[in-house]
Amino acid sequence: MDEKERILELRASLEAHNRAYYVDNRPQISDKEFDDLMHELERLEALHPEMDDPDSPTRRVGSDLNGAFRTVAHVRPMISLSNTYNEGEVREFYRRVEDGLQGQKFQICCELKYDGLSIALHYEKGRLVRALTRGDGTQGDDVTLNVRTIRSIPLKVSEERSFEIRGEVLLPWSNFERLNSEREARGEELFANPRNAASGTLKSKDPKVCAERGLDAYLYYLLGDDIPGDSHYDNMMAAKAWGFKVSADMKLCDTLEEVMDYIHHWDEARRALPVATDGVVLKVNSLAQQKSLGMTAKSPRWAIAYKFQAEQASTILREVTYQVGRTGVVTPVANMDPVLLAGTVVKRATLHNEAFMRQLDLHEGDPVLIEKGGEIIPKVVSVDLDALQGERGPVIRFIECCPECGTPLRKDEDEEGGEKGASWRCPNEDGCRPQILGRIEHFVSRRAMAIDSIGPETIASLYERGLIRDAADLYILTMADLCPPETDLFGMPIAETTSSKTTHKLEQNILDGIAASRQVPFERVLFAIGIRYVGEIAAKALARYFKSIEALRNATLEELLEVNGIGIIIAESIIRFFREEKNVTFVERLEKAGLQMTLSEEQLTLHSNRLEGQSIVISGVFQHHSRDEYKSLIEQHGGKNVGSISSKTTMVLAGENMGPAKREKAEKLGVKLVSEEEFLNMIK
């Protein structure tokens, strides 16, 4: 895989992990692993400026917008901090501040980094009027009703000021353990950690849920034109006096040595805190000096977050089991004696792949060290050599046949050059149960066909009853199929379940959801089909370029490579997909079922060449459309979105609160600033 294709792969991977973390509340990798991928992407993009893409994860913070709440533009963008896990980089940050302030004296305010959900609280004349999540940094979800149930957040303060105060909504360890105990008793899925529980709770549509679960909030930054003074620390102490919950563990440091002492102290002391923390935040104390130091494209130069190393624990490895994903990749999982780690009991941990297992040299009964990267995903780090006693058990070797269907495994191959990869794959994609179910689950998922009424349990039940073998079978289901005599959807006698009326309502919702999915636009249908390597971004680009499934099916390799963002691996995967008759038949059945296999007439008529040859930067907050909608409009009319202003930029779509640095650069280079109304008039 060359560097350009690696850029595309990293972008798709990071977007997926962003979604898993911020929206689904099911993070798949640790913070450090995410940051490592982000740093790799930043490095490669710097080497390949021709791959510039304003939608790259390096250009934006993660988004927790989920569509269930009204979105509101932030008065001031909520930009993420740069992360480091290295004390040397903390020292580098301190030196950069020294250089940037050119000999001025400064103080660093050290604060604990709480592991929850970022919130922006807006007060007018001392009264809480709005609470927004971070969202995508420029706009957030309005969760005011839910926030009003958090008792540590005052609804009114004694000072009749108008201001914004930011902080973290979280769930204390005691409430987290109580909540999971209650969910376990009800047979519900447990929350992985307090951060996930807090996020899920704050995004609940029922404020009563927030009130019952006992959310808490720590505040850490005061903003506005009517704040007490220039000292960040003094401002927070004033906020504390007004009634806000501000950490008593904030500390002003005059030297780098004091900063490092603070970090070392809390790396140990944090384990006794009532809430989850994952690091320390360092901020230049003077607001005037913060302004002088300024910002990068993604984060402030006056602050940095130091993340603590993951906590480790030792336990005994009992056996390795194997999971099969929807693409057939087999992943080994360590099953261990239960052990308490970072506040939760851990019994299973990922072993990634065969090469990772060999590197660890695992034997049955070995003591192993496990850690939670970012205190989220458990993984085996090494054999605990200090705890080894006596003779070791048999070596654990990777299986040779699929644990689900018994088919001999094949080494996963990189399609470019046929080089052997790191993973083993089950090739029996048409007869291996987890692969079949996984493809259907992907098809109905929210970002694909969005058939929310069908979950994994329903899919498994329909499969076991022989009603579905692929996603196309969903479109021939009837009420008679879903409601056999005297039983419900899951084969349980109706007398032993809820009322017949309630049961049939569930099945009618399924049929209604399937029917509604026929209106899902072509680009999402293309993503749902599940062509390997074709993610959301690639599906959108392919749909807009070829405009129909028929044109895509007949495309040559050269034509596919002409599509922006489509490299050799994706192109060859598409050709292989349509070369197989079973896939062609599957797509034809979906088309016959009434799914959208072409761009709609509305989409086609909306396309024009009015912006052809234009390289456009978007900056600021807008009234009529979101930034993402404007990006789509630019593409629809033949323009190109770019993330930064240069001599090649032809115009800036300038909204309210456009950054002064961008405005200054545009004026210096003579780049035209176009207002929202002027732009809409241009594309008519």
Tens digit of each residue's pLDDT (9 = 90 or more) over 177-201 = 888 887 766 656 677 678 888 988 8
**DSSP code at position 72:** E
Phi, psi of 586 (to 5 degrees): -60, -45
Q: Write down the CATH superfamily of domain 311-428.
A: Nucleic acid-binding proteins (2.40.50.140)
Rounded to an integer, the average pLDDT of 347-360 is: 88
Asked if residue 513 has pLDDT above 50, the reply is yes
Domain spanning 608-683: CATH 3.40.50.10190: yes
Backbone torsions φ then ψ of 615, nearest 5 degrees: -105, 115
**Three-state DSSP string of 347-380:** EEEECCCHHHHHHHCCECCCEEEEEEECCCEEEE
Residue with tokens 């979906």, as numbered in its chain: 590
Per-residue pLDDT of 62-91, as tens digits, reads 455 555 678 888 999 888 888 888 899 999
Question: Per residue in 149-180, pLDDT tens?
Answer: 898 899 888 888 999 999 999 999 888 888 88
DSSP 8-state class, residue 650: -
Q: Is the pLDDT of residue 220 over 50?
A: yes
Strands 344-350 and 329-341: what pairing?
antiparallel
| Residues pairing with 331 in the sheet | 323
Specify the CATH number of the domain 71-307. 3.30.470.30
Quick one: which of 169, 276, 184 has its CA closest to 214? Answer: 169
Q: Which residue has the higher pLDDT, 108 or 20?
A: 108
pLDDT category at 486 given cuts 50, 70, 90 is low
pLDDT of 526 reads: 96
Side chain identity at 671, as an amino acid letter?
A: V
Please list the residue range(s) of the chain that carry CATH number 1.10.150.20: 433-519, 522-605
Rounded to whole angstroms, the Cα distance separating 41 from 47 reads 10
Rounded Cα distance, 190 and 177, in Å: 10
Q: How many CB atoms lie within 10 A of CB 641?
A: 21
Helix (H, G, I), strand (E, B) or coil at 132: strand
More confident residue, 54 or 552: 552
| DSSP-derived 3-state class of residue 163 | strand
Q: Where are the alpha helices (DSSP H) in 445-484?
A: 456-464, 479-482
Domain 522-605 is classified in which CATH homologous superfamily?
5' to 3' exonuclease, C-terminal subdomain (1.10.150.20)
Q: Look at residue 418 in the predicted model and tell me its pLDDT.
A: 35
| CA distance linking residue 586 with residue 430, whole number of Å | 12
pLDDT digits (tens, 9 = 90+) for 104-151: 999 999 999 998 999 999 999 999 999 999 988 888 989 999 999 898
What's the half-sphere exposure (Cβ side, CA atoms, 13 Å) at 46? 6
In 302-339, which positions are buried (b, 16+ CB within 10 angstroms) versus exposed (e)?
bbbbbbbebeebbbebeebebebebbbbbebbbebeeb
Strand, helix or coil at 107? coil
Stretch 502-517: mean pLDDT:
85
pLDDT at 23: 44
CB atoms within 10 A of CB 160: 12
Query: Using CA atoms, how far apart are residues 610 and 82, in angstroms rounded to an integer?
Result: 39
Helix H, strand E, coil C: the string for 604-645 is HHHCCCCCCCCEEEEECECCCCCHHHHHHHHHHCCCEECCCC
Q: Is the pLDDT of residue 497 over 50?
A: no
Give first-to-last CA distance, the chain, whole Å.
42
Distance (Å, whole) CA 540 – CA 545: 9
**Rg of the Cα trace of the chain?**
27
Question: In the chain, helix, strand, coil percent, each to 5?
Answer: 40, 20, 40
Q: What's the pLDDT score for residue 19?
A: 59
Residue 460 has pLDDT above 80, yes or no: yes
User: 272: which residues sit within 8 A by CB, 6+ positions away?
Assistant: none
Instruction: Please compute the mean of the pLDDT values over residues 349-363 and round it to a whole number.
Output: 89
Q: Which is more confident, 364 or 49? A: 364
User: Distance (Å, rounded) from C-alpha 454 to C-alpha 639?
Assistant: 39
CATH class of 3-59: mainly alpha
- 97 touches 302 (CB < 8 A): yes
Out of 1.10.150.20, 1.10.3980.10, 3.90.79.10, 1.10.3720.10, the CATH code matching 433-519 is 1.10.150.20
Cα separation, 636 vs 602, in Å, equals 12
Give the three-class secondary structure for 168. strand
* Spacing of C-alpha 303 from chain mean position: 23
- Is the predicted pLDDT of residue 32 greater than 80, yes or no? no
CA-to-CA separations, 172 to 213, 346, 663, in angstroms, rounded:
10, 19, 44
Dist. CA 238–CA 259, nearest whole Å: 23
CATH 2.40.50.140 boundaries in the chain: 311-428
Q: Which residues of the chain does CATH 1.10.287.610 include?
A: 3-59
In the sheet with 83-84, reading across from the earlier edge strand, the strands are: 83-84, 303-307, 277-284, 108-114, 251-253
- Considering only CA atoms, which of 528, 566, 567, 563 is closest in space to residue 547? 563
- Answer whether residue 391 shows pLDDT above 80: yes
How far CA 121 is from CA of 165, 244, 248, 342, in Å, comes to 5, 11, 20, 30
CA distance 634 to 639: 5
Question: What tokens does 42 get?
Answer: 């930043």
DSSP string computed for 270-332? GGGSSS-EEEEEEEESBHHHHHHH-B-SSSBTTEEEEEPPPPEEEEEEEEEEEEE-TT-EEEE
Name the β-bridge partners of 304. 282
Where are the CATH 3.30.470.30 domain residues in the chain? 71-307
- 260 and 97 Cβ atoms separated by less than 8 Å: no
State yes or no: pLDDT of 672 exceeds 60: yes
Percent of the chain predicted with pLDDT > 70: 89
Who has greater pLDDT, 557 or 371?
A: 557
Which pLDDT score, from 0 to 100, does residue 390 have? 85
What letters, b where the CB count within 10 A reaches 16 and e where it falls short, cover 498-510?
eeeeebbebbeeb
Average pLDDT, the chain: 86
Question: Could you identify the residue written with the tokens 């490092």?
Answer: 260
pLDDT, greater one: 437 or 501: 437
How far apart CA 586 and CA 683 sit, in angstroms, is 39
Under DSSP, the state recorded for 476 is G
Q: Which residues are catalytic?
A: 113
Q: Residues 309-350: pLDDT tens digits?
A: 777 889 999 999 999 988 898 989 999 999 888 667 889 988
Separation in Å, CA 616 to CA 39, 50, 53, 639, 666: 26, 15, 11, 7, 12
How many other CB atoms are found less than 10 A from the CB of residue 392?
14
Is residue 237 classed as helix, strand or coil in its secondary structure?
A: helix
pLDDT band with cut points at 50, 70 and 90 for residue 6: confident
Note the pLDDT tens digit of each residue in 233-256. Answer: 999 999 999 989 999 999 999 999
Q: pLDDT tens for residues 609-618?
A: 788 888 899 9
Give the number of other Cβ atoms within 10 Å of residue 550's Cβ: 13
